[in-house]
Chain A
Amino acid sequence: MTSSTPPSEPAPPPQPNHADLPRQFPGRDAMVRELTARFPQASGGASPIRGGSKPALAALEAVDPVRYAASRNHLDGAVSGLSPYIRHGVLSLAQVRDVVWQRMARGPGLVSEKLLQELAWRDYWQRLWIRLGDGVWENLEPLKTGQPEAAYAQELPDDISEGHTSLACIDAFARELSDTGWLHNHARMWLAAYVVHWRRVRWQAGARWFLCHLLDGDPSSNNLSWQWVASSFSSKPYLFNRANLEHFGAGRHCPCCPAAAACPFESSYEALQARLFSAPQGGERASGGQAKGEAV
């Protein structure tokens, strides 16, 4: 079916129904109170990130493909913040693509296509979801860590989800996830690697945690990204070390970290691989680059 169907007749006058959820509120606080009462199973409060097309269009207007390509791997880089709006169709991928094309055409020369590629990651995940369905909850390939499945815990430890690991970076990421419902893509990868490789927890437990909170969360982008870190949808597990985190982490975490003197990430990649995995890890090591995309 196509979208070229003729418009149908106008609707008859609306009939009020007492079971319709309200649309009028004196302010955001009143709306949040109403929703808290109506959805008692939902935890927490509201995010500072607002829904709707106005904030979405403002974020779209601010998109800069050149700055994005140059700085997107850094926590304070010029990322777009569009992912929650794309995930829920407030903005379509095609609409964002067109804007990126316009901005790329403005430059005097070749502009990096990195932002286009990150949008393509979203399209790729969606196509995989259609193909896999609920299979996104299962390992797509065997893990390459050399560890048996049974070595991984079923549940996420509370100290991680509550932000009480005493690792300043990990706790900050967990709190940001819980408070805002959004994380920089690099922070997602670091957090996921910590959960799966350092704490040896099944990726599904971490994926459920993210999906509870992420405004852009969908089981395809989220779970397949976790599988990419875990190595059930990649040729090797993703790792990072302290140097990588300090380089891209905007210098926020290590200076005040109570565990800085005994940092579990302070090591070479070779030593970390030997410590965390029992299978030989060939090929390239973690470079700090975003090898897969979700939070554009």
Chain B
Amino acid sequence: MDCPVLWIHAEALGPANPALLAHPGRPAVFVFEPGLLEGAAGPISLKRIVFLYECLLELPVTIRQGDGVEEVLAFAARHRADGVVTSAWVDPQLGGIAACVAAALPLQVLEPEPFVDLPEPVDLRRFSRYWRSAGPRLRPDPAATETPT
């Protein structure tokens, strides 16, 4: 992929966005799309839109409103891109958009640094079970707390 565009979504609105870091200067787009604005819970309030917008104004990103797939693909065509780069998502609605984009253009998904690496399978039946595995891996290294002499 020589000249991709970057798809910035609502789970990665910071300067540490992996796509922005990997491809500085490439055109980037964010879409206010129906799944974000009116998901299963109904319309989100203007507060949330303003908050997102203020985050976006700090990023080098073109802001669009419309269907997520159509807008990302149209943006790629506008910039004669040969692919799309984005960051990993959790929201299944973003996964749906990504699948449709990937059906039309190469899509590269960049993973952010994990909070904690856990051996699979992770027991998620209760937080206490998760914490039994995650806690020891999250506690600071005692050696790091020693004062250098």
Please indicate the chain B residues that have their CB under 8 angstroms from the CB of A208 in the complex: 40-42
Which of A123-131, A272-280, A281-289 faces chain B?
A: A123-131
Which residue of chain A is the closest to B146 with respect to CB atoms?
A: A105
> Which A192-231 residues have C-beta < 8 A from chain B?
207-208, 211-215, 217-220
Chain A min CB distance to B115 (Å): 4
**CA of A91 to CA of B11 in the docked complex: distance in angstroms?**
10
**CA of A130 to CA of B51 in the docked complex: distance in angstroms?**
25
Total number of B residues with any Cβ neighbor in A under 8 Å: 74
**Are A89 and B49 interface neighbours, CB within 8 A?**
no
Quick check: is B46 within 8 A (CB to CB) of the other chain? yes
Q: How many residue-residue contacts, CB under 8 A, span A and B?
A: 233
User: Contacts A1-B108, A1-B109 known; A14 to B64 CB distance under 8 Å?
Assistant: no
Which of A40-48, A143-151, A162-170, A247-255 faces chain B?
A: A40-48
**Are A91 and B14 interface neighbours, CB within 8 A?**
yes
Give which listed residue, A50, A104, A120, A217, contacts B135 with CB less than 8 A.
A120
Quick check: is B3 within 8 A (CB to CB) of the other chain? yes
**Are B140 and A105 interface neighbours, CB within 8 A?**
yes
> Which B83-131 residues have C-beta < 8 A from chain A?
87, 90-92, 108-116, 122, 124, 127, 130-131
**A interface residues, Cβ below 8 angstroms from B:** 1-5, 7-12, 14-15, 17, 19-21, 23, 31-32, 35-36, 38-39, 41-47, 49-54, 56, 84-85, 87-95, 97, 101, 104-105, 113, 116-117, 119-124, 126-131, 133-134, 137, 178, 180-181, 207-208, 211-215, 217-220, 292
